[in-house]
Structure 1
Amino acid sequence: MDTCRVPEVPRMIYPKAQLLKPTRTDVLVTTPWLAPIIWDGTFDSAILDMQFRNTTIGLTVFAIKKYVVFLKLFLETAEKYFMVGHKVIYYIFTDRPADIPHVPLQEGRQVVVLKVRNYTRWQDVCLHRMEMISNFSEQRFLHEVDYLVCLDVDMKFSDHVGVEILSSLFGTLHPGFFAADRQAFTYERRPLSQAYIPRDEGDFYYIGAFFGGSVLEVHRLTKACHQAMMVDKANHIEAVWHDESHLNKYLLYHKPTKVLSPEYLWDERMLRRPPFVRKLRYVAVPKNHQAIRN
């Protein structure tokens, strides 16, 4: 999809927006650089579905080692809630192709299994995720899809996640930090690291489990993060939150064109849901982190 072109929309009947009656006044809906922050009530799905009607979306997910156990629920709920009515390619990175579950898919959707190596430490999987997305973006994603959505697999969809998220580059607000001051963000604070962010800088804290954009922009992001991590490795340092730390550094200096609210990633076991978070669209599933990662 040529994102520089204004999409044509056929004749449609829908309620007129009221300029003097904003749909949300309880939350910030625009960043200081004029990127929309996506909350329930801030968009019309019917209009957006028509704008993106000829778009193919790629979804990348990593099911390395024991994490393959999460795939069945992930795919089943994605088929119910993710980009319904649109063409989707699920790109599953795994070291266990034989263990990929068979899940019935809607018309125009497919699963592509990409066999990759595993790593001794789960931290190394995080560190090499950006490299793998970058490499495959160049090799095939650029030729097969218009947008990439990069997600963690140990989650499930629980409500609509559609084309309202699509933009040149988007990040998702971390549910644990959306109301925090920048000094409280768990950025990498050691100047030696390429992910270093000073305490007087920072817009938001973005979670590494949900980001994306056009294939070209995702390629630029993942390549830059991988290169930065390789510099850190040569200097014998790992950023405090691995690829998430480098993602936050990148999005600080390459402002996202859309920001997803905490509706798009939530952990009901860890966080109390405030009233302004009207929907929980993508949520963590119960797990024993030590057992899964070991």
Structure 2
Amino acid sequence: SAIYLWRFGSIKSRILTVCQHFFFISFRARPLVQTFTSWKAPIIWEEMFDSILYDQGHTDKNSSVALTVFAVGRYLDAYLKTFLTSAEQHFMLGLPVTYYVFTDSPEKVPNITLASRRNINIVQVEKHTRWQDISMMRMRTISETIESEIRHKFHYVFCFDVDQEFKGRFGSEALGDSVALLHAHYYKLPKAQFTYDRNPKSKAFMETGDFYYHAAIFGGLWQNVKHLVDACYLGIIEDKLNNVEALWHDESHLNKYFWIHKPSKLLSPEYCWDQSIWDKRDILITRLVWAPKHYETLRSG
């Protein structure tokens, strides 16, 4: 299959060329799925990339990654240990990684054995009950942590929901300037069925879009992630002042953001798969899966 070379650099200089700092992507390796967007951003699927080349390239560039995850209330008990232990087995292996765990119960964060150059930072946050307040807190906290700490230590930031489990390689091929995730339940559906916010009074309002993105994972260079979370936070604030709440909260605002500011790389549903979906023909590997809902743990207390 034809091999294209994708530049590792700023969003403004996303061009195809040959250089020692460029990474191989084979867009024709997966003819039955969409492998690039109308603005020529790659959609990453298994068999499209050489993991050794990617890892070596990011090692040579001294790439480093901050992972943010919120484990508030009973979500900590139900999911955090599995999330962290599975991340240690599959997430960005070989690169420096720090997990930023935001929780209202720091004393309950499990003690996880970490590999070399991998750390956990625990940050205490308030617990909220309303989704709008939860979304605001998440976006504000990520932004503040990027500004106060992450920007001084890491090139990349990846933000995750905690109710997920890593099952396979989630490696340096996922790194990029601005990274969005295709939602497993929508990537095959027509746009008319995408659940964008259709309320013109909301800052998240969209008549149409490119794809439907899943807010369970987003990432990129710290500058771009900060721009994203700041924009979403301001949108949520304005909605709250106008007594409006977006249909899917921060996910609605994230979709609006990526409609205006196109991501430079898209992750296929391999990177966040719902195992209840019966049609798995496109999924050659599940890298991360939705965790089973532990309703008894979440409701007890």
Q: What TM-score results when the alignment is normalised by the length of structure 2?
A: 0.89
CA–CA distance in structure 2, aligned partners of residues 56 and 229 of structure 1: 30
1:242 is displaced (CA, Å) by: 0.2
| Identical aligned residues as a percent | 40
Specify the alignment match of 2:48 in structure 1.
42
Specify the alignment match of 2:30 in structure 1.
24
Q: Are 2:86 and 1:77 equivalent residues in the alignment?
A: yes
CA–CA distance in structure 1, aligned partners of residues 74 and 94 of structure 2: 31
Specify the alignment match of 1:13 in structure 2.
none
Q: Deviations over 1:116-143 (max 9, x none)?
A: 1111335522332111111111111111
CA–CA distance in structure 2, aligned partners of residues 133 and 290 of structure 1: 29
Specify the alignment match of 1:156 in structure 2.
165
- CA root-mean-square deviation: 2.2
Unaligned residue ranges in structure 1 (runs of 5+): 10-15
Specify the alignment match of 1:197 in structure 2.
206
1:26 is displaced (CA, Å) by: 1.0
CA–CA distance in structure 2, aligned partners of residues 293 and 140 of structure 1: 34
Q: What TM-score results when the alignment is normalised by the length of structure 1?
A: 0.91
Q: Deviations over 1:174-224 (max 9, x none)?
A: 0000011111100000000000001xx211000010101000000000000
Contact 2:132 2:245 in 1 (8 A): no
Number of corresponding residues: 283
- My pick for the range that moved more, 51-60 or 21-30, is 21-30
CA–CA distance in structure 2, aligned partners of residues 156 and 46 of structure 1: 24
Opposite residue 56 of structure 1, the aligned amino acid is S
Q: Are 2:233 and 1:226 equivalent residues in the alignment?
A: yes
CA–CA distance in structure 2, aligned partners of residues 214 and 289 of structure 1: 35
Q: Are 2:246 and 1:236 equivalent residues in the alignment?
A: no
What are the residue-to-residue correspondences of 1:100-179 with 2, within 5 Å?
100-179=109-188
Opposite residue 183 of structure 1, the aligned amino acid is A
CA–CA distance in structure 2, aligned partners of residues 116 and 293 of structure 1: 21
Q: Deviations over 1:69-117 (max 9, x none)?
A: 2111111110111011111000101111000001101101000001111
CA–CA distance in structure 2, aligned partners of residues 123 and 66 of structure 1: 19
Specify the alignment match of 2:292 in structure 1.
286
Specify the alignment match of 2:222 in structure 1.
215
- My pick for the range that moved more, 223-232 or 278-287, is 278-287
Contact 2:131 2:249 in 1 (8 A): no
Q: Are 2:279 and 1:262 equivalent residues in the alignment?
A: no
Contact 1:122 1:293 in 2 (8 A): no
Q: Are 2:281 and 1:275 equivalent residues in the alignment?
A: yes
Opposite residue 49 of structure 2, the aligned amino acid is F
